[in-house]
Amino acid sequence: MKNLFILLFLISGVITNAQQTPAPKQSGPISIEGATAHLGNGQVIENSLIMFDNGKLTFVGSANMRIARIGIIIKAEGKHIYPGFIAPNSTLGLTEIDAVRATRDADEVGAMNPHIRSIIAYNTESKVVESMRPNGVLMAQITPRGGRISGTSSVVQLDAWNWEDAVIKENDGIHLNWPNTYSRGRWWLGEPNTLKENKNYKEELDKLTHFFAEAKAYKENSSSNSHQPFDALLELTNGNRTLYVHADYEKEIADAITFAENQNIKKMVIVGGYEANMLINKLKEKNIPVLLQRVHSRPNNSDDDYDLPFKLANQLVTSGVLVGLENAGDMERMNTRNLPFLAGTCAAYGLDKETALSLITLNTAKILGIDSFTGSLEVGKDATLFISQGDALDMRTNILEQVFIQGRNVSLETHQTELYKRYSKKLN
Amino acid sequence: MIKKLVLAGLLFLSYTAQAQDYIPKNDGVKTNTSNYTVLTNAKLFITPTQVVENGTLVIKDGKVVSSGKNVSIPKNSIVIDLAGKSVYPSFIDIYSDFGIDGIPNAGSSNYTPQYDASREGYYWNDHIRPDVNAIDFFKYDASKAEALRKAGFGVVTSHVNDGIIQGSGLLVALTNDEDNSKRILDDHLGLFYGTSKSKTSNQSYPTSLMGAFALLRQVNLDAQWYAKGNMKVKDRALEAFLANKNEVQFFNAGSKNNALRLDKIGDGFNTQYVFLGGGDEFELIENIKNTNANFIIPINFPEAYDMEDPLLARSVSLEDMRMWNQAPSNPKVLSENNVPFALTTYDLKKTETFHTNLMQAIAYGLDKTKALEALTTVPARIIGKSNELGHLKPGAYANFLIMSGEIFDKKTVLYQNWVNGHKSEINAMDITDMRADYALTMDGANYTLKISGEVEKLKAEITTEEDSYDATVKFNDDWLQLVFTTKDSIKQEFIRLVSQVKNPSNFSGKVFYPNGKTSSFNAVKNNSEEQIDVKKEEDKAEETPKIYPVTYPNLAFGPKETPKQQTILFKNATVWTNEQDGVLEQTDVLIKDGKISKIGKNLSAGNAMVVDATGKHITAGIIDEHSHIATTSVNESGHNSTAEVTIEDVVDAEDIDIYRNLAGGVTSIQILHGSANPIGGRSAIIKLKWGQTADQLIYKNSPKFIKFALGENVKQSNWGDFNTTRFPQTRMGVEQVYINYFQRAKEYDALKKSGKPYRKDLELETLAEILNKERFISCHSYVQSEINMLMKVAEQFNFNINTFTHILEGYKVADKMVEHGVGGSTFSDWWAYKFEVNDAIPYNAAIMHNAGVTVAINSDDAEMSRRLNQEAAKSVKYGGISEEEAWKFVTLNPAKLLHLDDRVGSLKVGKDADVVLWSGHPMSIYTKAEKTIIDGAVYFDIETDKQLREEVQKEKNELTTLMLQAKNKGLKTKPIEKKEKELLHCDSIDQH
């Protein structure tokens, strides 16, 4: 009992100290003048003028335009403006500390969980979430993990009191972990610790197909009892949710595309896509976008070019595939603040910088289906943007001065900056 | 079959009557013969090189009496005429576990780990079992013996292949006609070792290869101490170890790298091991040769991968494809380099494949005489039995093979394998080869009879000009039976032919028709066709396989030649000196003789290779203070202190991540032990000289380092609910562990320095080096309380902690760190992955630096290490460190922390030429390393890399074709395998 009290005390302590207070609604118009504006759609405006009111962009253009600056004027000569970066396929707010089980909420038990909804577990008070903002990551697709069908994701902005405030697109998609074409030897039983062809691949695929067929049959019978997983799954065929297929290898991706067609899935996205470059024509032809695996990773094979993960995006993008970047993997939550540098690396390995920028802004917004109101600096869209001292895709110069989410002037302070200030002061 | 059994029984009886005359006999009368067996007119291989045409071999009582050309034949001899046949000494396999049975298995332990030994009165570690005697677990395996005899073997050694020291073996003759009283030729042979733990115990230590090596050293030291009578206890394991010290020492190394590692360990104790190899010796043949060891070489050559599914086949690595292509040449390469080796059936799934694989090795160039020696005289010599085994000189065991011809000829048949003078028939010796085409005449009608297939399993086909008939044929003891179907296709009936063949070229016999009538037939052999067939076969045999060249390391991107030192002049670069000069614009850098020779403007080139570096940047190579690449082990987690283990024992020079790190501008790394225990193991500090061997990577006169660790990992917080018994489980306990060990090390050192006798203890030796300021601690650390604690413990024992690595809360105690004089090597921005890093902040490096701590940024991650330049740049972002200082975080400062700043870490005349040419600003995300140079040699070049990529693809395509061809030819293939190298971190455990 005593322990429980201590625990409660600790938790409440965390809550009161943790997150910066969410910014209030934009109270008046704001104009930012003189910065280089990177719109996220590939365009740049030198010496720009950006104006927004009521959370929406009202003007995006050149500061040379003879137009009245409205409201508070921020002079930003020599600085850079970007649309807020978007982190898709993220578990931000679903787990606080990887090693502490009580804080892990990303992975529900069971294989087929389309009905699981990440949004209600999303912790707006997460100290990890607030640490995204100083690097420009301002939106994320909160995605459950595990199982064959992990569940349903939602897209949030990263400065909110609660998940209802946070959500910008609820239940945007269902995440399917495609069966692996490889399976690992059970080394603890003395088998070689290598990957071999997965002999159960077809069986696993059959199970999946059967599950979808059951859902379809269920729909035909109006007198069926309510079935939460099927109800959720049917949102895929009526186009309300996107099917995100997590798959890496050519055969998996090809099979997934066929599967989605057979199941009349309206919209699908490949997540991961290590070998997506092997079926570029198919992806283009079927208009299937790719959320490309963590750019900062090692090649899978010793024979692969050392920079293979760095240059994949370029290969896909120049061939006409719609690509966004995701960051799933080891220590993925805290590492999500490095999302801009993943795009930077794509620029180092072939893409021009503005195209690389779109991989974490407009392209991702399109893929998530939120591009009508965010993802780029265009009139009418959300004023979710930031001012950086320099090139935000390069860590040397990604130094943010002001952040706006839906026009709200968001704090750049975090648990970490507080400690920084506290101990800097102590030591001086 | 019955006949054979009776014969065997008779032989057995006669033998027992002779040899064991003290055994009462109740089933008959005791008999005794002193007859000789004599084989005459054979091509007699007395040794692989001493050959006698028309030789005579006289044997009696299981031994050779005489052999040679002019040998007198005793009157009471049974003479066997072997005209046209050859006699060879039979083969010896000196590595097997033949007949070993009943080793208890402790089962897997999924629960609380076992730290103490299960045995009492033996060594403290259950995996040290020199006291085990193979004879105690031996049960003659008649069917396995038969398989071995079929493969040509006469004797094998056997041992209990279990544990790190496995005990002594035995030598057994493979005859079913005697019992263990006679066929066991030696019941105490050799001392056997392995690198894996005993299945009989779940004792945790050692959990790693380097732990096994350390344990091996300590056993040797303890045995020396024990021998001097200094131990007050009785230790039956050490006694057995000492008793077996002068026996042949067999080590199951299993790979070239382990053989090289273990040979060094053996050198330390004047022990020369005989190594069971791994079949990959050809990859480092010079080094293998330099061990001067004898090798026992398995020939379990890999099968080709089934490459038919191109999507899956893509993931087979060049390394594995090459191994398929090159491994059969291993015996040839060993032989040509005069490495003494014996061949073994060990690791073969089926003994039958031994012959096939041996023939493959010969096809790949292994000299036939060498092959024979590797199966006879060499193994006999290795086990010290040259007098009685491996040849057919007088006095040797009568172990020999009767063959139809030259032993390694494809068409040669093994007729008999004699062991200890007992005949064992493999193929009937006087069987007539009936395979030919015959003109068959039967009641005036003419047919063609074609007999083909194998001698033992014939096939037949009967044809006329118009028709062909299904037929079966059997040929046994000169009787030929032929059955074929009648012409009538509706009602199938059979015509049977039978003949006692006297002359296979022309024979006749009876025909039995379905209606019961009989008649006669005649068959005449057609000679011309046979010769054509033979020719065809010979053409096939002459096909010499293409063997791809070996690179080192023998995988993709491995260089064909070791990079050489060059004289290079970089012109017009932006030069980051890390010295007082700061960053110099438009400056030249000359490297020569492996050193930085000049830095300045308008340097003259002389004979240097000139590189135009206009617009580019040159820096010192990146140094990673905390890495786990290029090692096969990270943690020895079996004890709470493992100061006795060292990563230097297990450096892996063949890790592709070395190359990838070079491509990120990294030139030196410290490979640290993991964080599984408060006192970890010793480091290896290496230069990433891709293409050199492990020994060459390690710094000359390397500063000595050891890993310590604090916090959640050492108290096993995240190891699951069963790991709750090892001390310490709290931070409080950690302090006491340190105090205890340092106090003991202090006492140990005092005793050692006093000149009195002492038991050499590798763990305490290492810790005493710390107290004597000869070895430095790099301590994995997170939380301020324990960081503070360790500094206080060190101060109590009058030394300094050298480095806190990770040190994520260093910013909270930076002032104390400065006062203590310890450096901090940290992550740029990692946090939130466990509870103790909840207060980790990316400003840590900046705060520590501002407080005066020497700060480095490390990786602890094979991926991030190749982007350490960018990690340094984060210090500009988080905390506003100047670019020049931030750059030192990954170059000069880690050099300082590693006590290497007099050699590397900055661009200063006279320092090692460990230099990187960058395409732009070294800390920009848009920049790439273009050349990475170590000691003046180019180890990574972005242009060379482009060529290598093409070569890799080309070679893979060619090997894929070869594998597809192999499958098409009917060779066995195996399913594809994809090897993903595991990313090793601090908490990685060896998977074996």
* Tens digits of residue pLDDT in B462-483: 888 888 888 889 888 788 899 9
How far is B564 from B570, CA to CA, in rounded Å? Answer: 17
- Helix, strand, coil shares of chain A, percent, nearest 5, are 35, 25, 40
Domain range list for chain B: 436-541, 637-690+699-899
Rounded to the nearest 10°, the torsion over CA B234, B237, B243, B244 is -170
Whether the CB-CB separation of B601 and B643 falls below 8 Å is answered with no
- Helix, strand, coil shares of chain B, percent, nearest 5, are 30, 25, 45
Q: Which of A46-55, B38-47, B396-405, B523-532 has the lowest mean pLDDT?
A: B523-532
Q: Is the dihedral of CA A227, A229, A230, A235 positive or negative?
A: positive
Whether the CB-CB separation of B552 and B319 falls below 8 Å is answered with no
The whole-number pLDDT of residue B213 equals 98
Q: Which of A132-146, A222-236, B607-621, B838-852 has the lowest mean pLDDT?
A: A222-236
The edge-to-edge listing of strands for the beta sheet with A242-247 is: A85-90, A137-142, A149-157, A167-177, A242-247, A268-272, A290-292, A323-325
Structurally, at CATH architecture level, domain B637-690+699-899 sits in Alpha-Beta Barrel (3.20)
In this predicted model, what pLDDT tens digit does every residue of A376-393 receive, in sequence order?
A: 999 999 999 999 999 999
How far is B271 from B165, CA to CA, in rounded Å? Answer: 14
* SS3 letters across A204-215: HHHHHHHHHHHH
In this predicted model, what pLDDT tens digit does every residue of A92-103 receive, in sequence order?
A: 999 999 999 999
User: Rounded to the nearest 5°, which phi and psi values hold at B618?
Assistant: -120, 135
How far is B5 from B20, CA to CA, in rounded Å? Answer: 22
Burial class (CB in 10 A: 0-12, 13-18, 19+), A111: middle
In this predicted model, what pLDDT tens digit does every residue of B246-285 receive, in sequence order?
A: 999 999 999 999 999 999 999 999 999 999 999 999 999 9
Alpha-carbon distances of B810 from B92, B679, B830, rounded to whole Å: 64, 20, 14
Please judge whether A97 and B983 are an interchain contact, meaning their C-beta atoms are less than 8 angstroms apart.
no
Distance from chain centroid for Cα A388: 21
Closest residue in chain B to residue A395, using alpha carbons only: B874
Closest residue in chain B to residue A193, using alpha carbons only: B979
Whether the CB-CB separation of B467 and B457 falls below 8 Å is answered with no
User: Rounded to the nearest 5°, which phi and psi values hold at A382?
Assistant: -60, 140
| Cβ-nearest to A416 among B843, B863, B864 | B843
The token pair at A207 is 């199970």
The whole-number pLDDT of residue B85 equals 95
Mean pLDDT, to the nearest integer, of B785-800?
Answer: 98
Mean pLDDT, to the nearest integer, of B122-138?
Answer: 97
pLDDT greater than 70 at residue B19: no
The whole-number pLDDT of residue A174 equals 98
pLDDT greater than 80 at residue A249: yes
Location of structure tokens 């960081």: B787
How far is B943 from B469, CA to CA, in rounded Å? Answer: 68
| Cβ-nearest to B975 among A196, A299, A423 | A196
The edge-to-edge listing of strands for the beta sheet with A195-197 is: A182-184, A195-197, B977-978
Q: How far is A341 from chain B (nearest CA, A)?
A: 7
How far is B967 from B973, CA to CA, in rounded Å? Answer: 6
List A residues 236-265 in contact with B (Cβ-Cβ < 8 A).
249-251
Please judge whether B976 and A337 are an interchain contact, meaning their C-beta atoms are less than 8 angstroms apart.
no
Secondary element (H or E) of residue B385: none
Alpha-carbon distances of B747 from B303, B741, B752, B758, rounded to whole Å: 57, 10, 9, 11
Please judge whether A420 and B926 are an interchain contact, meaning their C-beta atoms are less than 8 angstroms apart.
no
How far is B170 from B410, CA to CA, in rounded Å? Answer: 33
Give B192's DSSP letter. Answer: E
- Which of B448, B612, B578, B525 lies closest to B889, judged by CA? B578
The whole-number pLDDT of residue B543 equals 66
How far is B392 from B740, CA to CA, in rounded Å? Answer: 64
Q: How far is B951 from chain A (nearest CA, A)?
A: 11
List A residues 49-78 in contact with B (Cβ-Cβ < 8 A).
none
Please judge whether B876 and A395 are an interchain contact, meaning their C-beta atoms are less than 8 angstroms apart.
yes
How far is B632 from B635, CA to CA, in rounded Å? Answer: 10
User: Rounded to the nearest 5°, which phi and psi values hold at B271?
Assistant: -115, 125
List A residues 396-425 in contact with B (Cβ-Cβ < 8 A).
396-399, 416-417, 419-420, 423-424
Alpha-carbon distances of B714 from A17, B635, B709, B710, B767, rounded to whole Å: 30, 11, 6, 6, 18
Please judge whether B975 and A197 are an interchain contact, meaning their C-beta atoms are less than 8 angstroms apart.
yes
The whole-number pLDDT of residue B989 equals 64
For chain B, what is the mean pLDDT?
93
Q: How far is B759 from chain A (nearest CA, A)?
A: 37
What b/e readout covers A66-93, taking b as 16+ CB neighbours within 10 angstroms? Answer: eeebeeeebebeebbbbbbbbbbbbbbb
Whether the CB-CB separation of B227 and B190 falls below 8 Å is answered with no
Orientation of helix A228-237 relative to helix A201-220, angle to 10°: 90
Mean pLDDT, to the nearest integer, of A399-409?
Answer: 98
Cβ-based contacts of A420 with chain B (< 8 Å): 811, 841, 843, 847, 879
The whole-number pLDDT of residue B456 equals 72
Whether the CB-CB separation of B809 and B840 falls below 8 Å is answered with yes
In this predicted model, what pLDDT tens digit does every residue of B511-531 receive, in sequence order?
A: 998 888 888 999 998 875 544
Best mutation target among B926, B945, B948 (most A Cβ atoms within 10 Å) is: B926
The whole-number pLDDT of residue A18 equals 47
CATH 3.20.20.140 holds for A85-371: yes
Whats the size of chain B, residue-wise? 992
Location of structure tokens 């195209």: A355
What is A27-90 written as a DSSP string?
-S-EEEESPEEE-SSS-EESSEEEEEETTEEEEEEETTS-----SEEEE-TT-EEEEPEEEEEE
The whole-number pLDDT of residue A224 equals 65
Please judge whether B835 and A97 are an interchain contact, meaning their C-beta atoms are less than 8 angstroms apart.
yes
Long-range contacts of B20-27 (CB under 8 A, 24+ apart): B20/B181
pLDDT greater than 50 at residue B727: yes
In this predicted model, what pLDDT tens digit does every residue of B174-215 receive, in sequence order?
A: 999 999 999 999 999 999 999 999 999 999 999 999 999 999
For chain A, what is the mean pLDDT?
93
The whole-number pLDDT of residue B109 equals 63
Cβ-based contacts of A348 with chain B (< 8 Å): 925-928
Residue B494: Cβ within 10 Å count: 14
In this predicted model, what pLDDT tens digit does every residue of B935-969 receive, in sequence order?
A: 999 999 999 999 999 999 999 999 999 999 999 98
Residue A258: pLDDT band with limits 50, 70, 90:
very high
pLDDT greater than 50 at residue B734: yes
pLDDT greater than 70 at residue B7: no
Please judge whether B863 and A298 are an interchain contact, meaning their C-beta atoms are less than 8 angstroms apart.
yes
| Cβ-nearest to A396 among B923, B928, B978 | B923
SS3 A324: strand
Fold assignment, B436-541: Lipocalin (2.40.128)
Mean pLDDT, to the nearest integer, of B726-733?
Answer: 94
Residues of chain A with CATH 3.20.20.140: 85-371
Secondary element (H or E) of residue B758: none
Closest residue in chain A to residue B718, using alpha carbons only: A99
pLDDT greater than 80 at residue B304: yes
Residue A328: pLDDT band with limits 50, 70, 90:
very high
The token pair at B556 is 């993709």
Please judge whether B873 and A395 are an interchain contact, meaning their C-beta atoms are less than 8 angstroms apart.
yes
Please judge whether B843 and A187 are an interchain contact, meaning their C-beta atoms are less than 8 angstroms apart.
no
The CA-to-CA distance between both ends of chain B, in Å, stands at 47
Please judge whether B843 and A420 are an interchain contact, meaning their C-beta atoms are less than 8 angstroms apart.
yes
Closest residue in chain B to residue A351, using alpha carbons only: B926
Strand pairing class (A195-197; B977-978): antiparallel
Closest residue in chain A to residue B306, using alpha carbons only: A197
Q: How far is A306 from chain B (nearest CA, A)?
A: 6
Please judge whether A303 and B952 are an interchain contact, meaning their C-beta atoms are less than 8 angstroms apart.
yes
Angle at B606 between CA B601 and CA B609, to 5 degrees: 85
In this predicted model, what pLDDT tens digit does every residue of A188-218 receive, in sequence order?
A: 666 777 888 899 999 999 999 999 999 999 9
The whole-number pLDDT of residue B144 equals 97
Residues 6+ apart with CB under 8 A from B246: none
How far is A138 from A141, CA to CA, in rounded Å? Answer: 11
Q: Which of A337-351, B26-40, B521-535 has the lowest mean pLDDT?
A: B521-535
Q: Which of the two residues, A4 and A268, has the higher pLDDT score?
A: A268
Whether the CB-CB separation of B343 and B334 falls below 8 Å is answered with no
In this predicted model, what pLDDT tens digit does every residue of B656-709 receive, in sequence order?
A: 999 999 999 999 999 999 999 999 999 999 999 999 999 999 999 999 999 999
Please judge whether B317 and A345 are an interchain contact, meaning their C-beta atoms are less than 8 angstroms apart.
no
The token pair at B818 is 């400065």
Q: How far is A26 from chain B (nearest CA, A)?
A: 28
How much is the pTM? Answer: 0.92
SS3 A238: coil
Residue B986: pLDDT band with limits 50, 70, 90:
low
What percent of chain B lies above the pLDDT cut of 90?
80
The whole-number pLDDT of residue B591 equals 98
Chain B interface includes A227 (CB < 8 A): no
Please judge whether B556 and A303 are an interchain contact, meaning their C-beta atoms are less than 8 angstroms apart.
yes
Q: Which of A2-6, B217-221, B603-607, B938-942 has the lowest mean pLDDT?
A: A2-6
Residue A185: pLDDT band with limits 50, 70, 90:
confident
The residues facing B704 across adjacent strands are B775
Please judge whether B925 and A344 are an interchain contact, meaning their C-beta atoms are less than 8 angstroms apart.
yes
Alpha-carbon distances of B324 from B302, B329, B761, B963, rounded to whole Å: 5, 10, 44, 9
What is B97-165 written as a DSSP string?
-TTB----------SSPB-S-S-SSS-SSTTB-TT-BGGGGB---HHHHHHHHHTTEEEEEE----SSE
Residues of chain A with CATH 2.30.40.10: 18-84+375-428
The whole-number pLDDT of residue B972 equals 87
ipTM of the prediction: 0.94
Give the right CATH number for A18-84+375-428 from 3.40.50.300, 3.40.50.2300, 3.40.50.2000, 2.30.40.10. 2.30.40.10
The residues facing B484 across adjacent strands are B471, B495
Angle at B945 between CA B941 and CA B951, to 5 degrees: 145
- Which of B204, B131, B195, B206 lies closest to B163, judged by CA? B195
Please judge whether A99 and B833 are an interchain contact, meaning their C-beta atoms are less than 8 angstroms apart.
yes
Orientation of helix B784-796 relative to helix B731-754, angle to 10°: 20
Mean pLDDT, to the nearest integer, of A400-411?
Answer: 97
Cβ-based contacts of B926 with chain A (< 8 Å): 344, 347-348, 394
In this predicted model, what pLDDT tens digit does every residue of B369-408 receive, in sequence order?
A: 999 999 999 999 999 999 999 999 999 999 999 999 999 9
Please judge whether B108 and A307 are an interchain contact, meaning their C-beta atoms are less than 8 angstroms apart.
no
Whether the CB-CB separation of A247 and A276 falls below 8 Å is answered with no
Please judge whether B663 and A427 are an interchain contact, meaning their C-beta atoms are less than 8 angstroms apart.
no
Orientation of helix B256-268 relative to helix B209-227, angle to 10°: 20
